C-alpha cells in the first residue's frame, strides 16, 4: 500500500458547508485528498463557530494557529507536510513565507475560491453605475496582491473557466501554475428525478445565500426593490422564501407577510429547502467564481432563474436549467412562466442533469488533481525553475511580508 503523505490545509475560516459554497468546496477537496491516502491537518487562525463541521468526524486533525507568531514555525517544522494548501490568497500572504522558510520542499497550493479582484472590480463598476471592463482589473489593488500570491505558489486551483481565461490573457500567467477545478459532484441519472418531489409537490420561490457575502445581500435587495414587486403584482399568491446564514438586522426588516417576501434566515438543511422549492431565484448583479446555490438547485431537481453573471462559466454551451435574464421585467415574466408551466419546468430539470454530468464530473477532475500533485512532488525543482516570476516574488515581496510580520510579533510581546 502507498505510504500516506501529509497535507496541511491552512483555512481562512473553519469549513461551514451548510453556510457557504466555499465550505462545501473545502469538504470536497478534503474527501479527494483522503481518498488518495493523504493524512490531513486543517489549521486556521479563525475563531471557532457554532456551525463549523467537526473535522475529527472526517478523520482530519484540527489545529488553531496564530497570526504573526513564530509558534507556527515550530508547528510546521514538526508536522513537516509534503503539501500545503492555502485557502484564499490572504492566507498565503500571512503564512506563505513561513511555509517556504521552514518547509522549503513542501508543494504550495492555493485554492482561490473565486478571483477576489474580479468580484471587487465588478462591485465597484456596479456601484459607480458603469460597465465593467477587463482593464479595471489592472488598476485594482486586490489584483496586485492576488496575482502575486498565485505566482508565488506552485499551483493554484481556479474554479471558473472564465477566470482561467482572465488569468492567462489579462494577467499573462503561464498555464503551468494554474489548474481548472470546478465544483466536484457525482454524476446523476434522469431516473433520480423521480425520487425527488414532483412539480405539484413543490411550492414557492426560494433564494438562498450567505448574507455575509456582498453579492448575495445585493441580490436580496434587488429582489425586494425591483423584481418581487413585479412578480407580486402579476402573481399575487406567489411567495418568496429568502434563506441565508448570518442575516443582518437590515435584512430581517425586509420581511413582509402581506407581499409574500419572507426572510427565513439560516436553513437547517439547505438541500431540503431547495428540494421543496419549485423555482430558485438568483438575479445576481456582480460576483465571481461559480455559484454553489445554482449547482445545488440542479442536484435537487429545482429549476432556477438567474442572470448572465449568475450563470457565468457554469453550463458550457448547454441550455440552462431554467432561464437566464438580465432585464427585471423579463426576469419576472420568465420566473412566473417557469413556476406555472409544468412542461417547461420538467425540461429545465433535465437540462440541469445534463449540465451536472458534463461540467462537474468528480471522478474526472479528482484524478487530474492527484496526477498533477504527484507530478509536482516528483519534479518540484524543475517546476519552480520555470516559474521565474514566482521565485522573484518569493525573494522580494516575502522579505517585506516577513519583516512586517516579525515587527508585529515583537510589538505584540511588548
Are 179 and 198 contained in the same domain? no
Stretch 210-234: mean pLDDT, rounded? Answer: 97
What's the domain range around 333? 190-359
Are 159 and 240 contained in the same domain? no
Are 349 and 399 contained in the same domain? no
The string of pLDDT tens digits covering residues 291-309 is 999 999 999 999 999 999 9
Stretch 223-233: mean pLDDT, rounded? Answer: 98
**Contact between residue 294 and residue 282 where contact means Cβ atoms under 8 Å apart:** yes
| Rounded Cα–Cα distance for residues 184 and 187 (Å) | 9
Are 299 and 354 contained in the same domain? yes
So what's the pLDDT on residue 398? Answer: 62
Domain boundary pick from 318, 342, 359: 359
Domain boundary pick from 359, 376, 402: 359
pLDDT over 90 percentage in the chain: 89
The string of pLDDT tens digits covering residues 81-115 is 999 999 999 999 999 999 999 999 999 999 999 99
Residue 327 φ then ψ, to 5°: -80, 130
The pLDDT confidence band at residue 412, using thresholds 50, 70 and 90, is confident
Identify the weakest region by mean pLDDT among 23-37, 81-95, 196-210, 399-413: 399-413
As a three-state string, the secondary structure of the chain is CCCCEEEEEECCCCCCCCCCHHHHHHHHHHHHHHHCCEEEEEEECCCCCCCCCCHHHHCCEEEECCCCCCHHHHHHHHHCCCEEEEECHHHHHHHHHHHHHHCCCCEEEEECCCCHHHHHHHHHHHHCCCCCCCHHHHCCHHHHHHHHHHHHCCEEEECCHHHHHHHHHCCCCCHHHEEECCCCECCCCHHHHHHCCCCCCCCCEEEECCCCCHHHHHHHHHHHHHHHHHHHHHCCCCCEEEECCCCCHHHHCCCECCCCEEEEECCCCHHHHHHHCCEEEECCCCCCCCCHHHHHHHHCCCCEEECHHHHCCCCCCCCCCEEECCCHHHHHHHHHHHHHCHHHHHHHHHHHHHHHHHHCEHHHHHHHHHHHHHHHHHHHHHHHHHCHHHHHHHHHHHHHHHHHHHHHHHHHHC
Are 14 and 103 contained in the same domain? yes
Are 28 and 164 contained in the same domain? yes
Instruction: Report whether pLDDT(70) > 70.
Output: yes
So what's the pLDDT on residue 1? Answer: 40
Summary mean pLDDT of the chain: 94
Instruction: Report whether pLDDT(396) > 80.
Output: no
So what's the pLDDT on residue 395? Answer: 64
> What CATH number did the domain enclosing 194 receive?
3.40.50.2000
Instruction: Report whether pLDDT(397) > 70.
Output: no
Are 199 and 309 contained in the same domain? yes
- How many separate domains does the chain show? 2
Are 122 and 28 contained in the same domain? yes
| Rounded Cα–Cα distance for residues 109 and 373 (Å) | 9
Identify the weakest region by mean pLDDT among 5-9, 216-220, 353-357, 380-384: 380-384
Domain boundary pick from 332, 359, 386: 359
The pLDDT confidence band at residue 336, using thresholds 50, 70 and 90, is very high
Instruction: Report whether pLDDT(182) > 80.
Output: yes
| Rounded Cα–Cα distance for residues 236 and 225 (Å) | 16
Stretch 115-141: mean pLDDT, rounded? Answer: 96
Are 31 and 57 contained in the same domain? yes
Instruction: Output the CA torsion 101→102→103→104 (10° steps).
Output: 20
So what's the pLDDT on residue 293? Answer: 94
| Rounded Cα–Cα distance for residues 243 and 176 (Å) | 40
The string of pLDDT tens digits covering residues 31-68 is 999 999 999 999 999 999 999 999 999 999 999 999 99
Are 345 and 366 contained in the same domain? no
Instruction: Output the CA torsion 353→116→306→246 (10° steps).
Output: 100
**Chain centroid offset of residue 316 CA:** 18
Are 42 and 168 contained in the same domain? yes
Are 85 and 174 contained in the same domain? yes
Stretch 162-179: mean pLDDT, rounded? Answer: 97
Cell readout for 133 is 471592463
Identify the weakest region by mean pLDDT among 38-42, 53-57, 362-366, 387-391: 387-391
Stretch 251-267: mean pLDDT, rounded? Answer: 96
Stretch 221-248: mean pLDDT, rounded? Answer: 97
Amino acid at each position: 500500500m502507498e505510504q500516506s503523505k501529509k497535507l496541511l490545509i491552512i483555512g481562512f475560516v473553519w469549513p461551514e458547508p451548510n453556510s457557504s459554497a466555499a465550505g462545501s468546496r473545502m469538504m470536497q477537496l478534503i474527501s479527494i485528498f483522503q481518498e488518495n491516502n493523504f493524512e490531513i491537518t486543517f489549521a486556521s487562525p479563525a475563531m471557532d463557530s457554532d456551525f463549523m463541521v467537526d473535522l475529527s468526524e472526517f478523520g482530519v486533525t484540527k489545529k488553531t494557529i496564530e497570526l504573526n507568531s513564530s509558534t507556527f514555525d515550530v508547528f510546521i517544522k514538526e508536522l513537516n507536510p509534503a503539501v500545503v494548501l492555502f485557502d484564499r490568497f490572504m492566507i498565503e500572504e500571512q503564512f506563505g513565507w513561513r511555509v517556504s522558510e521552514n518547509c522549503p520542499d513542501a508543494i504550495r497550493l492555493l485554492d482561490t475560491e473565486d478571483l477576489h479582484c474580479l468580484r471587487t472590480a465588478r462591485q465597484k463598476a456596479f456601484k459607480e453605475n458603469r460597465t465593467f471592463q477587463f482593464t479595471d482589473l489592472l488598476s485594482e489593488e486586490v489584483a496586485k496582491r492576488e496575482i502575486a500570491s498565485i505566482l508565488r505558489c506552485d499551483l493554484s486551483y481556479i474554479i471558473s473557466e472564465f477566470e482561467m481565461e482572465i488569468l492567462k490573457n489579462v494577467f499573462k500567467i503561464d498555464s503551468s501554475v494554474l489548474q481548472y477545478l470546478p465544483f466536484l459532484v457525482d454524476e446523476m441519472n434522469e431516473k433520480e428525478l423521480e425520487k425527488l418531489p414532483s412539480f405539484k409537490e413543490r411550492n414557492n420561490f426560494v433564494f438562498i445565500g450567505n448574507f455575509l457575502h456582498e453579492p448575495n445581500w445585493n441580490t436580496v435587495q434587488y429582489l425586494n426593490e425591483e423584481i418581487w414587486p413585479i412578480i407580486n403584482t402579476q402573481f399575487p399568491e406567489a411567495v418568496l422564501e429568502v434563506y441565508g446564514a448570518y442575516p443582518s438586522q437590515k435584512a430581517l426588516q425586509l420581511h413582509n407577510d402581506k407581499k409574500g417576501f419572507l426572510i427565513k434566515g439560516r436553513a437547517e438543511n439547505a438541500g431540503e429547502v431547495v428540494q421543496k422549492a419549485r423555482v430558485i431565484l438568483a438575479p445576481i448583479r456582480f460576483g465571481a467564481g461559480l455559484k454553489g446555490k445554482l449547482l445545488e438547485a440542479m442536484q435537487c431537481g429545482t429549476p432556477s432563474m438567474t442572470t448572465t453573471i449568475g450563470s457565468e462559466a457554469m453550463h458550457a454551451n448547454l441550455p440552462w436549467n431554467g432561464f437566464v435574464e438580465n432585464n427585471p421585467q423579463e426576469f419576472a415574466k420568465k420566473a412566473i412562466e417557469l413556476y406555472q408551466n409544468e412542461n417547461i419546468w420538467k425540461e429545465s430539470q433535465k437540462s440541469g442533469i445534463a449540465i451536472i454530468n458534463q461540467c462537474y464530473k468528480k471522478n474526472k477532475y479528482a484524478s487530474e488533481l492527484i496526477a498533477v500533485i504527484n507530478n509536482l512532488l516528483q519534479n518540484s525543482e524543475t517546476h519552480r525553475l520555470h516559474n521565474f516570476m514566482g521565485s522573484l516574488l518569493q525573494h522580494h515581496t516575502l522579505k517585506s511580508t516577513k519583516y512586517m510580520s516579525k515587527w508585529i510579533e515583537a510589538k505584540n510581546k511588548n
